């Protein structure tokens, strides 16, 4: 049980002195700190990494290349079991058409996110990614898979995580995101996602990705039935993982001083659970709760450069996250997984960017494809 003997002014003094807050401090902030304090403390930590008023954005689409999945997470409205009506796998031509459309809309980043499809071999993925690299070169960049899919793929191919990462690298893969993490506590996984993986496996796979030279990121999803203690445990595990990479000299001790080109967890993206048409069901959390969580994440994750706010799940109001410590956001074109569970997407990018400006920020397009070895 987390209890803190700190007061708000003790915690504020720690942050001003650039000291870390503890899990107990985080719980205290969550329970006791008014919104205005959450904003100002998060902005203080944000200013260590980014100029006040500066923010960046990406234009991207998620391509859901298959919806066939055997993991059966109870919070998912997207998957079909093998053999079930409605299951699909996209052809290369269908993927290319989506990529062409993305480029035509000014985007240059795509994330692939599908399911644990036992009919797809490692060769399917390598062929797809090699074909994309050959066809598009450096005109776009892609997040090849989430860690969750990568783990399934490696197991299915009977390969170690390192060996599977090497095969993907040879096919032109540079990035595998931290997606599929949801809430990183073993108890949460047992409650909702028992066929997926353990938390220990998740970090073992992510470490193998870093060791193999692939780039990755941290993610989180809130708003299921998790407790605040579980949210804080997720943040603690993420911060500790980044620390472990730093102490093993796998990345620079100072992501900012190093220009972040070698920061392993290059960003942290949190989005919210959409409960519609899922087995778990439930009620969406409010945007206010999401914004407070963003602030807590910015304060807690003092070794991660970017905190990203989720336009995909919070729409225009996600941009208020810039006032709560976030510095980066996506302008998404498509993501079937969240859309099937209730997310709506606005393609009025001008309006979204205007909202960021109204809030006092100058958004700059972050072209991942033009410099894949730059921070993303």
Binding residues for ligand SF4 (CB under 6 A): 69, 71-73, 76, 78-79, 115-116, 148, 196
Q: Which is nearer to ligand SF4, 178 or 325 (CB)?
A: 178
Q: Which is nearer to ligand SF4, 76 or 251 (CB)?
A: 76
Q: Which is nearer to ligand SF4, 76 or 218 (CB)?
A: 76
Residue 180 CB, nearest distance to ligand SF4 (Å)? 6
Residue 228 CB, nearest distance to ligand SF4 (Å)? 23
Q: Structure tokens of 173?
A: 């893969």
Query: Nearest Cα to 370, choosing from 145, 64, 130, 103?
Result: 103
Q: Which is nearer to ligand SF4, 52 or 281 (CB)?
A: 281
Q: Which is nearer to ligand SF4, 10 or 187 (CB)?
A: 187
Residue 344 CB, nearest distance to ligand SF4 (Å)? 19
Q: Where is 349: in which H helix or E strand?
A: helix 349-358
Q: Which is nearer to ligand SF4, 145 or 148 (CB)?
A: 148
Residue 76 CB, nearest distance to ligand SF4 (Å)? 3
CB atoms within 10 A of CB 357: 12
Sign of CA pseudo-dihedral 284, 286, 289, 291: positive
Distance CA 191, CA 279 (A): 13
Distance CA 223, CA 292 (A): 13
Residue 98 CB, nearest distance to ligand SF4 (Å)? 18
Q: Which is nearer to ligand SF4, 274 or 298 (CB)?
A: 274
Residue 161 CB, nearest distance to ligand SF4 (Å)? 17
Q: Which is nearer to ligand SF4, 64 or 267 (CB)?
A: 64
Q: Which is nearer to ligand SF4, 301 or 340 (CB)?
A: 340
Residue 188 CB, nearest distance to ligand SF4 (Å)? 13
Residue 233 CB, nearest distance to ligand SF4 (Å)? 20
Strand partners, 54: 362
Answer whether 325's CB lies under 8 Å from 42's CB.
yes
Residues 6+ apart with CB under 8 A from 109: 58, 59, 60, 140, 141, 142, 143, 368, 369, 376
Distance CA 349, CA 118 (A): 37
Distance CA 217, CA 146 (A): 10
Strand partners, 112: 63
Residue 223 CB, nearest distance to ligand SF4 (Å)? 14
CB atoms within 10 A of CB 86: 8
The conformation of residue 321, written as its DSSP 8-state character, comes to: G
| Three-point CA angle 232, 20, 147, nearest 5° | 45
Question: At CB < 8 A and 24+ separation, what contacts does 66-69 make?
Answer: 66/90, 66/114, 66/115, 66/117, 66/120, 67/114, 67/115, 67/336, 68/114, 68/115, 68/117, 68/118, 68/119, 69/114, 69/115, 69/116, 69/117
Q: Which is nearer to ligand SF4, 196 or 207 (CB)?
A: 196
Residue 67 CB, nearest distance to ligand SF4 (Å)? 7
């Amino acid at each position: 049980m987390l209890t803190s003997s700190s007061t708000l002014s003790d915690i504020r003094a720690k942050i001003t002195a650039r000291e870390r807050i503890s899990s107990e401090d985080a719980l205290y902030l969550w329970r006791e700190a008014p919104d205005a304090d959450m904003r100002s403390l998060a902005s203080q930590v944000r200013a260590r990494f980014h100029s006040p008023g500066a923010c960046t954005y990406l234009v991207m689409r998620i391509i859901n290349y298959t919806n066939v999945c055997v993991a059966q997470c109870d919070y998912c409205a997207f998957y079909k079991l093998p053999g079930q009506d409605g299951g699909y796998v996209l052809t290369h031509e269908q993927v290319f058409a989506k990529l062409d459309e993305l480029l035509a809309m000014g985007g240059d980043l795509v994330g692939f996110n599908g399911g644990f499809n036992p009919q797809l071999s490692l060769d399917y993925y390598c062929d797809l990614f090699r074909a994309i690299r050959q066809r598009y070169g450096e005109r776009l960049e892609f997040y090849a898979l989430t860690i969750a899919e990568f783990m399934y793929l490696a197991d299915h191919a009977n390969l170690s995580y390192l060996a599977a990462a090497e095969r993907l690298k040879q096919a032109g893969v540079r990035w595998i995101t931290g997606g599929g993490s949801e809430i990183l506590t073993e108890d949460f996984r047992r409650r909702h996602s028992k066929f997926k993986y353990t938390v220990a496996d998740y970090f073992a796979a992510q470490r193998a990705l870093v060791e193999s030279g692939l780039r990755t990121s941290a993610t989180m999803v809130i708003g299921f039935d998790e407790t605040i203690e579980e949210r804080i445990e997720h943040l603690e595990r993420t911060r500790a993982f980044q620390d472990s990479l730093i102490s093993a000299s796998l990345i620079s001790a100072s992501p900012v001083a190093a220009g972040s080109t070698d920061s392993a967890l290059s960003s942290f993206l949190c989005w919210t659970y959409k409960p519609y048409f899922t087995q778990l069901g439930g009620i969406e959390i409010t945007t206010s709760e999401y914004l407070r969580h963003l602030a807590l994440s910015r304060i807690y994750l003092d070794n991660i450069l970017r905190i990203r706010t989720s336009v995909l799940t919070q729409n225009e109001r996600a941009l208020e996250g810039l006032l709560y410590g976030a510095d980066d956001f996506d302008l998404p074109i498509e993501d079937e997984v969240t859309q099937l569970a209730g997310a709506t997407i606005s393609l009025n990018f001008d309006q979204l960017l205007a909202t960021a400006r109204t809030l006092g920020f100058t958004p700059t397009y972050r072209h991942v494809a033009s410099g894949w070895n730059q921070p993303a």
